[in-house]
Amino acid sequence: MMPSVAFTSMLSCAVAVSTVIAAAQTRDPRRSGFEDMSRESQAMQRDDTANPGMFAVLEGEELWRAKVGSRKTSCADCHQNAEVSMRGAAARYPSFSTAWNGPVDLQGQINLCRETRQNAPPFPLEGPELLALSAYVGKQSRGMSIAPPDDARLEPFRRQGEALYNMRQGQLNFSCANCHEDHAGQRLAGSLIPQGHPTGYPLYRLEWQGIGSLQRRLRGCLIGVRAEPYAYGAEEYIALELFLMSRARGMAVETPAIRP
């Protein structure tokens, strides 16, 4: 009796182990920073009534309807219901703007709309209005797969972003890849190094006690390695975002995410 029980449990154990190994081999090795957050932070992100990023989303919803500029037009006047028209939009940015003749991120597109359609001044970069509107637009893609456009005009900029990602810089001489590629999952002092997928921007960062863009986050890393940060809106950030979004292709949009 005993040997057969032992044998059966060994057998089931072996089956379980091989199943786990098979799963590990087929599983996507990419991880959103969400998976490595505390349960409390995960719960905060999941619950819209607890997620402080939702304040920006609600503010963005008001801005969507606000009639502005010399033409007194709102976003809604052209795009109507954002829940329909903006669904999936953020998952495709940065994209190529013919008006700008170059790649633009979502915030850049919002400002282009203001200038060319609403005849209104652009919002200051990283200001509360632009963060709010992009959080509102971004939220309409929540749960959808990141889907960078298949646009050959973007390719040189994406490659520029990849080169920047791998370029060592600053007094401490680190590239993005040195940490987020080669040492993701390890600890820089007390902080787990994430793989650096931009799945939830703009997001509420506990360290900031506020909402911020991917550019703000990239700026933080540049300052950390003692490099000269690029100015907000710089083409280098757009190029990096293009590369990071292509690297995160297929991962789910989390906007507005929470991060430590």
Partner 1 sequence: MVRWLFLIAALSVAPPAIAQLRAFAVVGDAIPQSLTGQAGDAARGRAVVTDRQKGLCLLCHTGPFPEQRFQGNLAPDLRGAGSRWDEGQLRLRLVDSSKVNPSTIMPAYYRLDRLTRVGGAWQGKPVLSAEEVEDVVAFLLTLKDTP
Contact between 229 and partner 1 by CB under 8 A: the answer reads: yes
Contact between 223 and partner 1 by CB under 8 A: the answer reads: yes
Rounded Cα gap, residues 31 and 163, in angstroms: 22
Task: Annotate each residue in 93-122 with x if it binds partner 1 (CB under 8 A) or - if it does not, as one string.
Answer: ------------------------------
| Stretch near partner 1 under the rule CB under 8 A, chosen from 1-9, 79-87, 161-169, 241-249 | 161-169
Contact between 42 and partner 1 by CB under 8 A: the answer reads: no
For residue 2, which phi and psi values (nearest 5 degrees)? -55, -50
Rounded Cα gap, residues 17 and 29, in angstroms: 19
Q: Give residue 195's Cα distance to chain centre.
A: 12
CB 110 within 8 A of CB 118: no
Nearest Cα to 126, choosing from 112, 108, 140, 139?
108
Is 13 in the active site?
no
Rounded Cα gap, residues 96 and 106, in angstroms: 11
| Closer by beta carbon to partner 1, 180 or else 247 | 180
| Closer by beta carbon to partner 1, 113 or else 193 | 193
User: Binding-site residue total for partner 1 (CB under 8 A)?
Assistant: 25
Contact between 231 and partner 1 by CB under 8 A: the answer reads: no
Rounded Cα gap, residues 77 and 59, in angstroms: 18
Which residues within the stretch 175-214 sit at the binding site for partner 1 (CB under 8 A)?
Answer: 178-179, 182-183, 186-191, 193
Calculate ∠ Cα 28-89-177, nearest 5°.
40
Q: Which of 78, 113, 176, 221 is catalytic?
A: 221
Give me the least distance between CB of 59 and partner 1, in Å please: 33
Binding site for partner 1 (CB under 8 A): 167-174, 178-179, 182-183, 186-191, 193, 222-223, 226-229
